[in-house]
């Protein structure tokens, strides 16, 4: 490609410093200000899930590449992109370690506050892809029984090792959602799903807000033993009534680790380098500083002080997006730390 492409990038997408002026011109813009007019003279677009890449946004532009350093593409009109020849790249699995860390940090915090013994619990995992597999692996390592539900994988690999959803709901003490948002999973968690759960079971959602019917969740709350939400219907304008029934509530930051963001940007920039013929960026990589030392008995609390985020969101829920954007990316557990994880429960903090 002769002329240097013009890239419009959400200002919250990190680690783009390796794309120099010899490669492209980059204009950084707040995600909510990216509109059709802005894209008129752009060749590529780097967005987060907040920017809905619809036909209306993209029409009459010269965009040939959309990169989204996110695990999903439900915010992108993939049919329109295919029809108009726009290449789309995302980053599946980029933050799987971060979300796994969130799930267990939240569970240890919930268990500590409710005098629960996690090793006696059965963990039901709905969706066993990049994230669900890591959640299952750590649960197994910590001695927690798991039940796995993933119909596409069961169909492709055979039913052994997988359970139907009804049995999972009936037997699980904790249910964690790790499904993509599709027409089949939208409002998947509704009144029948919730009434089929065990009494006093804990429910966790870190997938997409629209997977859950929040009206049904609020009605079911008195029968549940805990509700942990990181994703919400109507983000960033969340329902305070849903916030009220949560034991732990955070502003869609389960995947917000430095490693996850690094992984995502690397994947998307490599795809963009291939698209624009930047041979020197085909193996684009970002070096992170070493993670600090954390004692093994504090790995579930010090690495990610989850109640700080909970308290901040409860104090100013109307500032959901500002809190999310200001979040300082945490560090994931190193391999050495992961091998030292034990179920040390904190004292009641909430």
Residue 283: inside a domain:
no
Q: Catalytic one among 11, 170, 235, 321?
A: 235
Answer yes or no: do 174 and 316 share one domain: yes
Distance CA 88, CA 94 (A): 16
Please give the chain's pLDDT, 350 residues, in tens. Answer: 458 999 999 999 999 999 999 999 999 999 989 999 999 999 999 999 889 999 999 999 999 999 999 988 999 999 999 999 999 999 999 999 999 999 999 999 999 998 889 999 999 999 999 999 999 999 999 999 999 999 999 999 999 999 999 999 999 999 999 999 999 999 999 999 999 999 999 999 999 999 999 999 999 999 999 999 999 999 999 999 999 999 999 999 999 999 999 999 999 999 999 999 999 999 999 999 999 999 999 999 999 999 999 999 999 999 999 999 999 999 999 999 999 998 765 555 54
Helices (H), the chain: 55-58, 78-84, 96-113, 130-141, 151-157, 165-171, 191-195, 214-220, 240-244, 258-276, 306-315, 320-326, 335-340
CATH code at position 71: 3.40.50.720
Residue ending a domain, among 90, 116, 131, is 90
Answer yes or no: do 12 and 61 share one domain: yes
Q: Is 208 a catalytic residue?
A: yes
Q: Catalytic one among 252, 324, 330, 331?
A: 252
Cross-strand partners of 153: none
Residue 221: inside a domain:
yes
Residue ending a domain, among 70, 90, 110, is 90
Q: Is 170 a catalytic residue?
A: no
Answer yes or no: do 10 and 134 share one domain: no
Q: Is 116 a catalytic residue?
A: no
Q: Catalytic one among 153, 208, 270, 330?
A: 208
pTM of the model: 0.91
* Structural domains of the chain, count: 2
Residue 277: inside a domain:
no
Answer yes or no: do 113 and 127 share one domain: yes
What domain range is 300 assigned to?
A: 96-255+294-340
Sign of CA dihedral 156, 159, 162, 167: positive
């Amino acid at each position: 490609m002769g002329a240097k492409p013009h890239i419009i990038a959400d200002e919250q997408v990190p680690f783009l410093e390796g794309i120099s002026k010899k490669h492209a011109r980059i204009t950084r813009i707040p995600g909510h200000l990216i509109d059709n007019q802005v894209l008129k003279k752009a060749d590529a677009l780097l967005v987060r899930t907040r920017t809905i890449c619809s036909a209306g946004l993209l029409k009459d532009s010269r965009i040939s590449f959309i990169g989204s350093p996110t695990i999903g593409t439900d915010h992108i009109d993939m049919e329109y992109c295919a029809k108009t020849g726009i290449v789309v790249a995302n980053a599946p699995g980029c933050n799987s370690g971060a979300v796994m860390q969130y799930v267990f940090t939240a569970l240890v915090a919930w268990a500590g506050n409710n005098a629960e013994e996690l090793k006696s619990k059965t963990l039901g995992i709905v969706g066993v892809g990049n994230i669900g597999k890591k959640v299952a692996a750590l649960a197994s390592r910590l001695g927690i029984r798991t039940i796995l539900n993933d119909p596409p994988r069961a169909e492709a690999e055979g039913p052994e090792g997988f359970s139907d959803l009804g049995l999972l709901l009936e037997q699980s003490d904790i249910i964690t959602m790790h499904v993509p948002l599709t027409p089949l999973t939208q409002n998947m968690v509704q009144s029948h799903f919730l009434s089929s759960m065990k009494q006093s079971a804990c429910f966790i959602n870190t997938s997409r807000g629209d997977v859950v019917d929040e009206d049904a969740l609020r009605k079911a709350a008195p029968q549940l033993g805990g509700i942990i939400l990181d994703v919400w219907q109507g983000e960033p304008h969340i329902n305070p009534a849903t916030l009220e029934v949560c034991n732990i509530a955070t502003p869609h930051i389960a995947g917000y680790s430095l490693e996850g963001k690094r992984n995502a940007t690397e994947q998307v920039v490599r795809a963009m380098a291939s698209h624009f013929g930047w041979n020197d960026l085909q193996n684009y990589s970002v070096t992170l500083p070493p993670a600090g030392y954390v004692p093994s008995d504090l790995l579930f609390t010090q690495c990610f002080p989850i109640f700080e985020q909970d308290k901040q969101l409860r104090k100013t829920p109307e500032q959901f997006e500002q809190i999310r954007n200001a979040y300082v990316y945490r560090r994931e557990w190193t391999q050495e730390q992961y091998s030292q994880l034990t179920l040390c429960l904190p004292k009641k903090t909430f």
